[in-house]
Amino acid sequence: MAVDLELFQEKLRYQAKNPELLKTALCHKSFSKENPGWDDNEKLEFLGDAVLDVVISDLLMQRYQEDKEGSLSRKRASLVNEDRLYRIARLYYIPSFILLGEAEKQNNLQENPRIVASAFEAIVGAIYFDRGFQAAFDWLEEAFAYVLEVGFSSHDFEKDYKTRFQEWVQEKFKQTPYYKVVSQTGPDHARVFQVEVWVNEEMWGQGEGNSKKSAAQDAARVALEKAIP
């Protein structure tokens, strides 16, 4: 299968010295298994994940100089996660270029957020290999420019504990947390709910509130304090 690397570089707004690196970044392991001689993108993804963390940390420290470490960590977790990377990748038409095995294509996994986010990280790794750290920094600064400028001011970042914990869990474990109501007490007009939040069969926090929603937020707050002290 041929990859139109010229078109891909145009969509990516990046001109590679070695376009073969970008081709590898697009190659899912299911494709490489069916096409001997093609390397999959997992090692580039590993590298890109590290580069992404460094660059986003740098950009956040530049823009939020008064923030403490905990606040910067929470902001980074809201940027470097599967959902966010998927959305940014779509702006560069990355899903339409990903190389998948036949079964994966039949199941339309080209739009699978995990696969797309992994390809995004692999592309970051490819750019780093191709032209060095500054090139990767510049490309990521442009890719994240909008959300860095308006993303945090446009929603109540410090209070939306459920969203923040979910983004942290997706980045750390590639999973989604789930919530369980463990008790409800009191009369109908003054109910008190207790909710637990779980990840990978481990209970991360328990919260209490006068609605399931507020109890879940409280549980996520406790979990975040455990996750990011």
> How far is the C-alpha of 76 from the C-alpha of 88, rounded, in Å?
15
Q: Is 4 a catalytic residue?
A: no
Q: One of 40, 45, 49, 167 is an active-site residue; which one?
A: 49
121 is catalytic: yes
* Phi then psi dihedrals of residue 192, to 5 deg: -125, 120
Rounded CA gap, 218 and 171, in Å?
A: 21
Interhelix angle 69-79/161-173, rounded to 10 degrees, is 70
Catalytic-role residue among 121, 130, 167, 171: 121
b/e sequence 64-91, b meaning 16+ C-beta within 10 Å: eeeeeeebbbbbbbbbbbbbbbbebbee
- Give the pair of three-digit tokens for residue 136: 């990767």
Active-site positions read 49, 121
